[in-house]
Amino acid sequence: MESGPGDEKTHLPSPTLWPIGFAIGLAALLVGLIVSWVVVAIGAAIAVVFGLLWVIDLSHAHGGAEGEPPPVAEAAPAGAPPEAPAEPAAEPERFPRNRFLEGTTLGLGALIGGLIMVPSLGLVAASGIEGQTFKDVDLGPLSNFPEGQFIITTFVEDPAAGEVSRRTAYIRYNGLLGELPSFTILSNRCAHLGCPVQPNGPVASKPSEVVVDKQGNVVRKLTPAKPAGFGCPCHGGQYDTEGNRIAGPPVRALDRYEYSIVHGRLVLGSAYSVAKVKDTGKDAKIKKELLHNPGQHVEGPEAWLWPIPEIRT
């Protein structure tokens, strides 16, 4: 049917899948903030690509609709009666309704996305600040640690926090590496669910040293031990004397502590995670990783599926 002079032709954008792809990318980005940076990067890339395609598609649709030439009036045949004067054309809409609705929809979508993303990004940024209150701990002179023997060392990480910050480490002096003392310092936190790992072997009945503060609180205690390895009493995880997992459910080796030698004294630093230790003692080869929570892999495909690790120093 031919359209009359009063009929209006509505230009609607063609159906497209770009908004769906954009939404999928945005959802993947938000999930990645909890799961993994790899997922964040993939989601962001999908959202950017599909968002650009969506914008280009919309711009082309509007350009085609507005760029159509006006219809050419047919010449009246000779001898035909003159046509009645045409009614003045209605003033075109200055801001088409469909553009307004599209802009409003996109604006509301951006606002909602921002409200969702800003708190998540804030938590991620805060994770880089949390946990950075660890203070170096003076464990006393090097003579407290005989070569080749493990010393169970309990210490208060933050004296202001008191017993809440008490930690335990298994420390072995490995002798000199070049001209510097070498130590193996293992955390007692099981890499499965965080239970306290125990030495598999005899432990001295009395500590070799106990240091108390002015209020009588035990700040540091050193107890000799001769473990053949370490075991978790909760779920049966087993580790060798380098902290490597040898049996049970743990997913990696025991965490370790950094250390430094200051004026002939051993000073404990921050903890870090390890996937596996090669060789032993002062010849051990260790790849340091950010401190991860128990149960989290630190390398391999499994590590991509776990939440972002805590960032500590």
d(CA 171, CA 299): 25
Q: Look at residue 157 in the predicted model and tell me its pLDDT.
A: 81
Measure the CA–CA gap between 177 and 313, rounded to whole angstroms.
25
Instruction: State residue 118's pLDDT score.
Output: 66
| Domain extent for 58 | 16-63+116-127
Would residue 269 count as lying in a domain? yes
Which is nearest to 197 in space by CA: 227, 233, 157, 247? 233
Residue 86 lies in a domain: no
- Is 163 within a domain? yes
The per-residue pLDDT for 276 is 93
Q: Are residues 150 and 52 part of one domain?
A: no
Cα–Cα dist 161/157, whole Å: 8
Domain closes at, from 127, 146, 169: 127
What three-state secondary structure class fits 181? strand
Please check whether residues 120 and 165 belong to one and the same domain.
no
pLDDT (tens, 9 = 90+) of the chain, 313 residues, equals: 455 554 555 555 566 677 888 888 888 877 777 667 788 888 888 888 888 887 887 776 655 555 555 555 566 566 656 666 656 665 655 656 666 677 777 777 777 776 666 666 665 555 444 444 456 888 999 999 999 999 999 988 877 777 788 899 999 999 999 889 999 999 999 999 999 999 999 999 888 888 877 766 777 889 999 999 999 999 999 999 999 999 999 999 999 999 999 999 999 999 999 999 999 989 999 999 888 889 888 887 777 766 555 444 3
Residue 22 and residue 26: Cα distance in Å, rounded? 6
